[in-house]
Amino acid sequence: MTPADYVNPMIGAAGQGSCMAGPCLPHSSVYPSPNTLNPNNGGYKGGEKIIGFAQLHAQGTGGLSSYGNFLIAPQIGLEINEENYASEKDEEVARCYYYKVKLLKSNILCEVVPSANAALYRFTYPETINASVTIDVARKLKGAIGLEDGYVNILKEKNAISGGGTFKGNWPSNNTRWKMYFYAVLSKKPDGFGTWINEKINDGSNAEKSINSRMGAFYKFSTRANEPVYVKIAVSFRSESHAEMLLKQEIPGWEFDKLKNEARKAWNTKLGKVKIEASEKEKTIFYTNLFHSFVQPRNRTGNNAWNTEEAFWDDHYTMWDSWKTVFPLMCILDQEMVSENINSFIARYKHDKYVAEAFINGLESPVGQGGNTVDKIIADAYVKGIPGVDWNEAYKILKYNADSMRTPNYIINGYHYPGEKHFYSNRMYSGSGTLAFSYDDFCAATLAKGLGKTADYQKYSARSASWKNIWNVSAESDGFKGFIMGKKSDGTFDNIDPKTGYNKHFYEGTCWIYSYFIPHDIPGMIEYMGGPETFTKRLVHALDNNYIDFGNEPSFMTLWWFCHPLINRPDLCAKYLRMQLVPKYTKTSLPGDDDQGAMGSLYFFARCGFFPVAGQDYYFLHGSSYKSITIQLPNNKKLKILAPDASEENRYLKWVRLNEKTLTEFKISHADLMEGGTLEFGMSNQ
């Protein structure tokens, strides 16, 4: 089988992960997928009835649900309430390039294949005089109303339906508003048509307008037994006419199998950059998680409200999730994606005057949960030498953030306190906010130094030590002293039990969790925790007592501190990876919400034997789970990773050789990795 055929989109969709069950292209704008009653935030939930197929979804998010727009529902008869036509299913097949299911209530076989901004459906009906297709224009995920002010038109002479308007209600706030439009065409001439508004069906009506109301349109027709009816639909963030143009460009005819093969080829091109020697079951889990890494953010260059052809990458939910694993993985596998995103940041800075860590349906959303996260992505690409970026232009973003987008008290006194007035939402907490800003300052200093901006380098470098301002040396837990802890406005610590602090001192974490988030000063962190020996004991204690949460991003880096030269215990990293992290990836579920591929790309690094410290140019080494891995690098070189003795028992790293040279540290630079060649891991059961 090819890599694309190993992908099972039900992993993270039917189980935990909030992913989609349908197909897409890499980083495509449109993601057609089945929706169920009572879904997760990806629109699907295992065991629930199917209500139709929406065209837009968010990958692996929590909180307020997003998208689920322009729901297409094939039916026998005509129902407009989702619960009334929801159907049990059979014959379900989910691939990253194709989806199929039979709706048992109506005996309709439904299939869909994707393009970048559109989708093609094939509905195979039984013999009936009561066939129909409906398009719900106003709804969003979970049946809510997502259209604030819009319209729908029946274009009978073209067998088409069009519409759109002003939409609302995507994460992170119901206050967001954006324009969105669709254009859909049927392959079969209809016998009848109409619209609906709220509960009223208007048979024969060819137009409807809505203000915060349910609204949609339908076509009715007769079918022979096993007759396929095709529906193709494109979505534009510019206009209805632009959606029609996209549809004509991407799906000019009804060549379903051709589009399916093109999607399969596109995924094999991406996923085929990595080849592993593993069991069939493991290949399914590995390639599915790798697939998740290539879904979001979405490339909407040429399909956005700017009406320009500037780089435009949308739907960052949020970079708080993706900077640690997704973007570092793309720095290895798809450098063009990284440079285009940074060029999109530069364009956003020009248009919007700032670059927030969340950017959804073309709108800046300064949620604050991870500080100025864009700084870390830019710094990571800079130190790794990603081509195609004007770094002086990129630096303007970091400098603006450092001087204007940190909270005032952080800039003046070196810590953020709760309730401090700023543009950020209530996700900005004293502990996590101060730590994030400290690393952002380190990243700004990194570019300033490289670009010869000495004064800026000195200022931001000094400020990057602000994490020390919230280290409470008196805090104690389980016999260990010294923890990161939030401060009040008067500069005193808000003393709490270090096992707590979740969404009070820290965003989705505790003192124990966040005390390990100091990636730019690992030696300082080790020293503050009592030195290497105490640091090791304390981290083992935290892991043994489940104080570290592998289902969430704040803990992503923690295990790899065991590999730091001052600790020199990659065996402990490997032990807890295999005991606590890897088992959370199953044939149905992920450890938590996928968060636009953050969980998926974490699995890549956990299994392949190395892990990035994003924003810096090196990787820690813990040993591969696979006997052989081949990675095709962007520079036409190949990296061969060999661990011939690797097994479930032989999980511990004893030695490392790079191109036949034994390494003295469990650490490798990005430049060394990109040179390709052979990285060999000596694995043991002890």
| pLDDT tens digits along 654-663 | 999 999 999 9
Q: What is the pLDDT of residue 78?
A: 97
pLDDT of residue 369 exceeding 90? no
Rounded Cα distance between 76 and 66, Å, is: 29
Rounded Cα distance between 391 and 116, Å, is: 29
The per-residue pLDDT of the chain, averaged, comes to 96
DSSP letters of 524-579? Answer: HHHHHTTSHHHHHHHHHHHHHTT-S-TTSGGGTTGGGGGGSTTT--HHHHHHHIII
pLDDT of residue 421 exceeding 80? no
Q: Which CATH number applies to 3-269? A: 2.70.98.10
Average pLDDT over residues 360-389: 95
pLDDT of residue 291 exceeding 80? yes
CA-based nearest residue to 88, from 100, 72, 104 = 104
Q: What is the pLDDT of residue 420?
A: 82
The C-alpha angle with vertex 582 and arms to 579 and 584, in degrees rounded to 5, equals: 95
Model-level pTM greater than 0.75? Answer: yes
Average pLDDT over residues 630-650: 96
pLDDT of residue 234 exceeding 90? yes
Q: What is the pLDDT of residue 175?
A: 86
Region of residue 165 (phi > 0: left; psi between -120 and 50: alpha; otherwise: beta): left
- The H or E element spanning position 245 is helix 240-250
Rounded Cα distance between 212 and 275, Å, is: 50
HEC-encoded secondary structure of 205-241: CCEEEEECCCEEEEEEEEECCCEEEEEEEEEECCCHH
Rounded Cα distance between 170 and 142, Å, is: 12
Burial class (CB in 10 A: 0-12, 13-18, 19+), 592: buried
Question: Torsion angle, CA of 297/298/299/305, rounded to 10 degrees?
Answer: -110
pLDDT of residue 424 exceeding 80? no
- The H or E element spanning position 677 is strand 677-684
Q: What is the pLDDT of residue 281?
A: 97
Average pLDDT over residues 82-90: 97
User: What sign for the dihedral angle of Cα 68, 133, 179, 313?
Assistant: positive
Rounded Cα distance between 420 and 287, Å, is: 44
Question: Are 10 and 94 a contacting pair, CB within 8 Å?
Answer: yes
Domain boundaries along the sequence of the chain: 3-269, 296-405, 406-515
Average pLDDT over residues 71-90: 97
For 153-171, give one letter per residue: b (16+ CB within 10 A) or e: bbbeeebbbbbbbebbbbb
Average pLDDT over residues 562-567: 98
Taking CA atoms, 589 is separated from 37, 59, 280, 283, 634, in Å, by: 19, 14, 17, 15, 31
Question: Are 360 and 29 a contacting pair, CB within 8 Å?
Answer: no
DSSP letters of 420-483? Answer: --SSS-TT--HHHHHHHHHHHHHHHHHHHHHTT-HHHHHHHHHHGGGGGGGEEEEEEETTEEEE
Average pLDDT over residues 494-511: 95
User: Could you give phi then psi for residue 272, rounded to 5 degrees?
Assistant: -70, -5
Taking CA atoms, 391 is separated from 378, 395, 451, in Å, by: 9, 6, 8
Rounded Cα distance between 635 and 674, Å, is: 8
Question: Are 162 and 181 a contacting pair, CB within 8 Å?
Answer: yes
pLDDT band at 418, cuts 50/70/90?
Answer: confident
HEC-encoded secondary structure of 81-110: CHHHHCECEEEEEEECCEEEEEECCCCEEE
Identity at 593, one-letter amino acid code: D
Question: Are 537 and 575 a contacting pair, CB within 8 Å?
Answer: no
* % of the chain residues with pLDDT over 70: 100
Rounded Cα distance between 654 and 611, Å, is: 17
Cα-only R_g, the chain: 26
Question: Are 373 and 318 a contacting pair, CB within 8 Å?
Answer: yes
Identity at 63, one-letter amino acid code: G
Average pLDDT over residues 436-462: 98
Q: What is the pLDDT of residue 426?
A: 75
Domain 296-405 = CATH 1.20.1050.60: yes
State both tokens at 14.
């039917």
**Bigger pLDDT: 214 vs 419:** 214
pLDDT tens digit string along 159-213? 999 999 999 999 988 888 999 999 999 999 999 999 999 999 999 999 999 999 9
Name residue, tokens 């209805």.
240
Average pLDDT over residues 211-236: 98
Count of beta carbons in the 10 Å neighbourhood of residue 327: 29
Question: Torsion angle, CA of 576/580/582/587, rounded to 10 degrees?
Answer: 160
Average pLDDT over residues 319-330: 96
Question: Are 147 and 215 a contacting pair, CB within 8 Å?
Answer: yes
Length of the chain: 686
User: Could you give phi then psi for residue 483, rounded to 5 degrees?
Assistant: -145, 150
Average pLDDT over residues 340-362: 96
Question: Are 353 and 346 a contacting pair, CB within 8 Å?
Answer: no
pLDDT band at 124, cuts 50/70/90?
Answer: very high
User: Could you give phi then psi for residue 266, rounded to 5 degrees?
Assistant: -60, -40
As beta bridge partners, residue 128 has: 223
Average pLDDT over residues 67-94: 97
pLDDT tens digit string along 242-282? 999 999 999 999 999 999 999 999 999 999 999 999 999 99
Count of beta carbons in the 10 Å neighbourhood of residue 409: 19
Burial class (CB in 10 A: 0-12, 13-18, 19+), 557: buried
Taking CA atoms, 624 is separated from 184, 272, 340, 382, 566, in Å, by: 48, 19, 31, 27, 22
Same CATH topology for 3-269 and 406-515: the answer is no
pLDDT of residue 377 exceeding 80? yes
pLDDT band at 318, cuts 50/70/90?
Answer: confident
The residues, ordered by sequence, that sit 6+ positions from 400 with a Cβ below 8 Å of its Cβ are 349, 354
pLDDT tens digit string along 129-142? 999 999 999 999 99
- According to DSSP, the β-strands at 638-642 and 677-684 are parallel
Q: Which CATH number fits domain 406-515: 3.30.70.20, 2.170.190.11, 1.20.1610.10, 3.40.50.300?
A: 1.20.1610.10
pLDDT of residue 468 exceeding 90? yes
Taking CA atoms, 346 is separated from 311, 313, 343, 438, in Å, by: 9, 11, 5, 23
pLDDT tens digit string along 584-624? 999 999 999 999 999 999 999 999 999 999 999 999 999 99
Secondary structure letter of residue 583 according to DSSP: G
pLDDT band at 228, cuts 50/70/90?
Answer: very high
pLDDT tens digit string along 535-564? 999 999 999 999 999 888 999 999 999 999
Q: What is the pLDDT of residue 434?
A: 97
Question: Are 498 and 484 a contacting pair, CB within 8 Å?
Answer: no
pLDDT tens digit string along 15-25? 999 999 999 99
State both tokens at 192.
């009848």
Secondary structure letter of residue 141 according to DSSP: G
Average pLDDT over residues 345-372: 94
The residues, ordered by sequence, that sit 6+ positions from 155 with a Cβ below 8 Å of its Cβ are 161, 162
Burial class (CB in 10 A: 0-12, 13-18, 19+), 280: exposed
Rounded Cα distance between 74 and 54, Å, is: 12
Rounded Cα distance between 59 and 374, Å, is: 19
Average pLDDT over residues 625-629: 98
